[in-house]
A and B are shown apart, each in its own frame.
Chain A
């Protein structure tokens, strides 16, 4: 893959947590279905706290493969 495509992919991955937290949380503004006993919106926030490091890890891998 050429360099600008890699860069675009990195930006796209970075936007996932941003959209999930900033837009996803207020739109998925519901208690049901409860996940492991937790309200749905809170479970969503927890899920993305765990996924954000994975997104950053993927971005870092792409950055290293670029150089």
Chain B
């Protein structure tokens, strides 16, 4: 048997054991008994600090973070520092925003992000528009994780396994897992994923540089001789330069928690203080990113000459070339979980949205509370299948849709902030602002590609402008949104 086949079998066996073990561990920890929609989609609003921490960390630090951050360092160097920078700003925004969103959710029985908008602004139309946008934006993000999974599995197979087929099998397993387990199972799986990712990242980012360069300082000294330009940002408004950095960090930071799965995680929190403690603890997880940066820099010196998307494989190539297959097995296992856990959370959030905010309004009275959980489970299967099909049939379309994920998702900010802080905005103003913002961001991304600044910013400006304009022009005889009262401002203790 050729050596690569043996290596591939060793590494892939470890990956399979890790994925299967994680799924089994999560399923064993599930509660028995009837599962209502709120338990299935948002864990019955019961998650404490640690559980929420692993869930949020599980959603935020995806396979894209894992591979993409190293790939960014490899190709663009210091520009990658924008990732921990926007994260920290995201946590600050989350500290102020998420407890208010959770309180609205608990008071009004909200489960999904469009629930929040439709209920607060008393606008079913806004709910449907938000639901469609969320699902359209989230689907490419799921398929991005599928591509990550493919990279990880084909690396672990040492060329022996068809990565696409492996990814499809693993993804099907996680779809069935999500079908069974709901958000509570996803959180348990996150617990395993975070532990393993931490171990692997410390190995890759600390052990590898010390092994090959004596110390981190030694590695950077060598980078300064060979790749000095990468260690700083290009000046001014050059591509990925200083202006790009400032606008992208601010814009992505304020939109950090606008994803449908992030709002679902917010609703899953037991109390406001759970969310505040999380805001304080999550920045520390960014240290993981720094360590991945070290791995990316090490890969740049050890396996130079990769271009474009191939750079995402850079540090897996280092592992494949210099370390035994069992090490690759653990690295790939962690990478696979980092793809599967956020996929599960996103699919679950999208399924809840499809059922509660698209199907239910379309067929009023047809889906009652008892059948809602079942409908969500079926939607999990449908959305997983759609993601897999789209990934197979139209990868280019997905790649370009992904470009607008962050700039699109952040357009929800005015509506969500308005609801959280009890602003008396009209549903029609928020709806038109959202539509105009997403359209503008998409136009700026596709038509005027390669701006020196972040295209989402243009969208958000238009969005806010439209909200302000409609508020100003609309007749003053409006009915105020119900319960937009000061109870939201009331201090809470728990």
Let me know if A49 and B284 touch, CB within 8 A: yes
Let me know if B491 and A56 touch, CB within 8 A: no
**In the complex, which residues of chain A have a beta carbon less than 8 angstroms from the beta carbon of B84?**
21, 45, 49
* Binary CB contact string for chain A from 41 to 58 against chain B (1 if under 8 A, 0 otherwise): 110011011101101110
The answer for the CA separation of A60 and B242 in the assembled complex, in Å, is 32
**In the complex, which residues of chain B have a beta carbon less than 8 angstroms from the beta carbon of A50?**
284
Let me know if A31 and B284 touch, CB within 8 A: no
A37-B217, A38-B216 known; A45 and B253 CB under 8 Å?
A: no
**In the complex, which residues of chain A have a beta carbon less than 8 angstroms from the beta carbon of B231?**
31, 39, 41-42
Least Cβ–Cβ distance between B430 and chain A, in angstroms: 25
The answer for the CA separation of A34 and B218 in the assembled complex, in Å, is 12
* Least CB separation from A17: chain B residue: B88
Would you call A6 an interface residue if the criterion is a C-beta within 8 Å of the partner chain's C-beta atoms?
no
Let me know if A22 and B78 touch, CB within 8 A: no
Let me know if A42 and B293 touch, CB within 8 A: yes
* Least CB separation from A67: chain B residue: B491
Binding site secondary structure of chain B:
helix
**In the complex, which residues of chain B have a beta carbon less than 8 angstroms from the beta carbon of A45?**
81, 84-85, 290
Chain B residues engaging chain A, CB cutoff 8 angstroms: 78, 81, 84-86, 88-89, 91-92, 95-96, 215-218, 220-221, 224, 228, 231-233, 235, 242-243, 245-246, 249-250, 253, 276, 279-281, 283-284, 286-287, 290, 293, 491, 493
Chain A residues engaging chain B, CB cutoff 8 angstroms: 14, 17-18, 21-23, 25-27, 29-31, 34, 36-39, 41-42, 45-46, 48-50, 52-53, 55-57, 59-60, 67
Known A-B contacts: A26-B233, A26-B245, A46-B287. Give 17 more (CB < 8 A).
Answer: A14-B92, A18-B92, A21-B85, A25-B85, A26-B246, A29-B232, A31-B224, A34-B220, A39-B232, A41-B81, A41-B233, A49-B84, A49-B290, A52-B92, A56-B92, A56-B283, A67-B491
